[in-house]
Structure 1
Amino acid sequence: MAEAYVVDAIRTPRARGNKRGSLADVHPQELVAGLLNELPKRNKDLKVEKINDVILGCVTQVGDQAACIARYGVMAAHWPQEVPGYTVNRFCGSGLQAVNDAAAYIQSGAFDLVVAGGVESMSRCKMGSDAGETTEENMGTAMSIGNPKIAAHYNLVPQGISADIIATKYNITREEADQFAASSQKKADEAIKDNRFAKSIVPVKKDDGTIVDKDEYPNAKWDFAYLSRMPALFKGVGEKVFDAMALKTYPELGKINHIHGGGNASGVVDGAGVVLLASEKAVKEHGLKKRARIVSMAVSGEEPTIMLTGPVSASKLALEKAGLKVEDIDLWEINEAFAAVPLYVQKQLNIPTEKINVNGGSIALGHPLGGTGAILLGTAVDELERRKARYALITLCIGGGMGIATVIERVDG
């Protein structure tokens, strides 16, 4: 099997995903185009016409993100018409799935040079808008895209309720969740002040000449004291509609302990990230520098009511395929969809706190659904290089009860 190498990983800043966000007036195709056009600037001998494919994750594929945003992103970049593109949707794992698809193509020998990543403009394409009009009462059915039989059979509930089920089932307290969230904000603030993201952030120049070059979501003032005063966001709708559904699957819990709110869940943001992957042949042909090797990848399925437990099973599979153990991994990037998720993964796999999301995560920086997996992988590559460490594992929980994980190894050259 051929090796697949990461030779570059870049991203836009992440901006608040509402009409006041600094990227709300930027079409998501243009977010992609800006990154694509940065790649040949950073990799001087890269011949973009030789790129075999552009693969992008995108979750809410409606409105400005409809059709095939990967191909339209290529067109927006004015790349040669010979460069194709396709879009993938594995919910929150879409960006990492795109990278894994690219790596698999290269490892198989089918392709030599691929751009993969993802994009989400959550200000322009509201989360869940691909499911049609929703209310509190029909949200479970809406998540099954109009099929009440699936919703009823699997007792589907919103992800916030699923996160609260994890907290209840695995004894994760509100205090633990808020402490974790406060830590994410603190670590992100330190990383920003230390310019750890500057290597990979590509500023966005808007039509009016404004430059967006910084992550907009982090708020260091959101400390534990502040977070602990925020209401549990899913308590009302849970007690009104969804707790009873969840308890059909987990009757032993008796009651759902609602601990998640706006401060200990991932931020709603706009953003994109791309990764340039290459074979050994393409590295030599284009004068590229290998930064990391894709060691292994895995996806897994989980029980759909609790939904968000997949990072544990996916990580175990990826580690097994790599011939590695938990303790071999120097850095863990566990997507902070909700605080209970990385806390659950940490407890189940016995991961030292100091190895998890060392520069903060989606609670502080935001989670642009389709783009996050690629962004996390790029963050891991940068941090491996900064620390001169060897292995990182990137993992995300996924709607519908899935997980995804990728192990990478830093290489020099």
Structure 2
Amino acid sequence: MNRQIQEAYIVAATRTPVGKAPRGMFHATRPDDLLAHVLRSVLAQAPSLDPAAIADVVVGCAMPEAEQGLNVARMALLLAGLPNSVPGVTVNRFCASGLEAVAQAANRIRLGEAEVVLAGGVESMSLVPMGGHQPSYNPAVFAGSEHLGIAYGMGLTAEKVAARWQVSREAQDEFALCSHQRALAAQANGEFVAEISPFRIEERTADLLTRLASLKVRDVAQDEGPRADTSLEALAKLKPAFAREGSVTAGNSSQMSDGAAAVLLCSEAALKRYDLTPLARFVSYSVAGVEPSIMGIGPKEAIPRALAQAGLALGDMDWIELNEAFAAQALAVMQEVSLDPAKVNPLGGAIALGHPLGATGAIRTATLLHGLRRRQQRYGMVTMCIGTGMGAAGIFESL
């Protein structure tokens, strides 16, 4: 049966503040609780919607095990109080998982398979480490040089990108400083307020002498990563983190983080039925592969494909959220694709704001959509590199 492609609209998008890992504000907070919180929060922004109308909940997670395993999408939607009739699925495309979830949700609507879908992402790098608790590569990866890049640490791939695209240590540190400065300015100007749903942290401690337990409650509403004390001098003092003679340091790399985000998508019919006002239209999404050893350059392949699908040119983009996995790879991508630095991460990026892996794509989508509306701009893009050699890019139109 032939189906006519219909439009998918984003009605609401929200996120938690992002905490540092492994000892930040969410170090003891379960990721399914973070996810349940944003699911409740995004639905609260569309009070006229019947939750029973939600056809699916699609959630990205890069390390879906332990506290964020057991199909965390379904677990969290039930914890959030959604009806038992609402299903959930967890998807994994590493760092693009959150954006992949939004794209999959949009495509269900575009194909006419669903009218209302929730999408999002979640990651606790405090509770589930990079690679998971028991990573196990196929021995064939190490049998020769053909597949060895699959096993390279992300930092080493960033070093290879820096070398191939001749990105200097000075340029990386300057980019990192700019990320912090932009993020701090955005916080001071309240530019993240609309997209963040404050989270209540409950901390219980026990006094062994009195045998009494105490409860400390605090509400957090601001990202933990941006540092006012960052300077070029301080960044220059940091030693290479991944290669003895390298240029990639902890200061010009993304921060390990904890966080979650959720996006509510609807068809045009659902907009009318529930009297909803869209934030944006989903336009296009593309994923492409590159050599695993230079995985950071992936967006250079995905961006032209997403633009071609949309029938748009790079110059049409008013705002580009390029995930700053590493300053080296971000700068190489900007150089290769000729991205305008003024349009890239105007509120800072993952070096300052953090990178909770599977949540980042949905988090950056929330930042983009609220930012486009606030600045009355039209087109925006979310793009990132992906482990094992991929890149993703999604385009949205603000309404």
**C-alpha contact 1:187 1:360 (8 A) present in aligned 2:** yes
Between the aligned partners of 1:146 and 1:175, the Cα distance in structure 2 is 35
- What is aligned with 1:267? 255
The answer to whether 1:98 aligns with 2:91 is no
- What is aligned with 1:353? 341
**C-alpha contact 1:297 1:405 (8 A) present in aligned 2:** yes
- 1:40 maps to a residue whose letter is L
- What is aligned with 1:110? 113
How many residues align structurally?
A: 378
- 1:44 maps to a residue whose letter is P
Between the aligned partners of 1:403 and 1:185, the Cα distance in structure 2 is 24
Between the aligned partners of 2:361 and 2:41, the Cα distance in structure 1 is 20
Between the aligned partners of 1:289 and 1:405, the Cα distance in structure 2 is 25
The alpha-carbon deviation at position 288 of structure 1 amounts to 1.1
Alignment of 1:381-400 (within 5 A): 381-400=369-388
The alpha-carbon deviation at position 154 of structure 1 amounts to 1.5
Q: Which has the higher strand share?
A: 2
1:152-210 per-position Cα deviation (integer Å, ceiling 9, x unaligned)? 43222111010111110011000000000000000000000001000011111123432
- What is aligned with 2:234? 226
* Structure 1 unmatched ranges of 5 or more: 133-141, 237-256
Between the aligned partners of 1:41 and 1:67, the Cα distance in structure 2 is 26
- What is aligned with 1:379? 367
Between the aligned partners of 1:77 and 1:117, the Cα distance in structure 2 is 14
- 2:348 maps to a residue whose letter is G
The alpha-carbon deviation at position 65 of structure 1 amounts to 1.1
Between the aligned partners of 1:212 and 1:376, the Cα distance in structure 2 is 19
2:19 to 15, 27, 46: 15
- What is aligned with 2:207? none
The alpha-carbon deviation at position 75 of structure 1 amounts to 1.3
**C-alpha contact 2:38 2:261 (8 A) present in aligned 1:** yes
**C-alpha contact 2:42 2:262 (8 A) present in aligned 1:** no
The alpha-carbon deviation at position 341 of structure 1 amounts to 1.6
Moved over 2 A (4+): 150-153, 206-209
- What is aligned with 2:9? 5
1:210 to 212, 218, 227: 218
- What is aligned with 1:249? none
The alpha-carbon deviation at position 308 of structure 1 amounts to 1.7
* Structure 2 unmatched ranges of 5 or more: 203-215
- 1:342 maps to a residue whose letter is A
- What is aligned with 1:187? 182
**C-alpha contact 1:40 1:47 (8 A) present in aligned 2:** no
Between the aligned partners of 1:223 and 1:6, the Cα distance in structure 2 is 38
The alpha-carbon deviation at position 383 of structure 1 amounts to 1.1
SS at match of 1:181: helix
The alpha-carbon deviation at position 40 of structure 1 amounts to 3.0
The Cα RMSD (Å) is 1.2
Q: Structure 2 length as normaliser, TM-score?
A: 0.93
The answer to whether 1:126 aligns with 2:129 is yes
The alpha-carbon deviation at position 220 of structure 1 amounts to 2.1
1:339 to 320, 327, 330: 327
- 1:226 maps to a residue whose letter is A
Between the aligned partners of 1:78 and 1:297, the Cα distance in structure 2 is 31
1:22-68 per-position Cα deviation (integer Å, ceiling 9, x unaligned)? 11221111101111111232212011111111110011122111110
2:44 to 41, 44, 53: 41
SS at match of 1:393: strand
The answer to whether 1:280 aligns with 2:288 is no
1:59 to 58, 62, 69: 62
- What is aligned with 1:82? 85
Q: Structure 1 length as normaliser, TM-score?
A: 0.90
- What is aligned with 1:299? 287
1:315 to 298, 303, 311: 303
- 1:165 maps to a residue whose letter is K
Between the aligned partners of 1:403 and 1:92, the Cα distance in structure 2 is 9
| Identity score, percent | 40
**C-alpha contact 2:42 2:263 (8 A) present in aligned 1:** no
Between the aligned partners of 1:169 and 1:13, the Cα distance in structure 2 is 35
The alpha-carbon deviation at position 327 of structure 1 amounts to 1.2
- What is aligned with 2:147? 154
2:168 to 149, 153, 173: 173
Between the aligned partners of 1:352 and 1:308, the Cα distance in structure 2 is 18
1:120-175 per-position Cα deviation (integer Å, ceiling 9, x unaligned)? 01111111224x2xxxxxxxxx5xx3212124432221110101111100110000
The alpha-carbon deviation at position 215 of structure 1 amounts to 0.8
SS at match of 2:58: strand
Between the aligned partners of 2:239 and 2:68, the Cα distance in structure 1 is 33
- 1:37 maps to a residue whose letter is R
Between the aligned partners of 2:239 and 2:158, the Cα distance in structure 1 is 15
The answer to whether 1:366 aligns with 2:321 is no
In terms of mean alpha carbon deviation, does 169-178 or 344-353 score higher?
A: 344-353
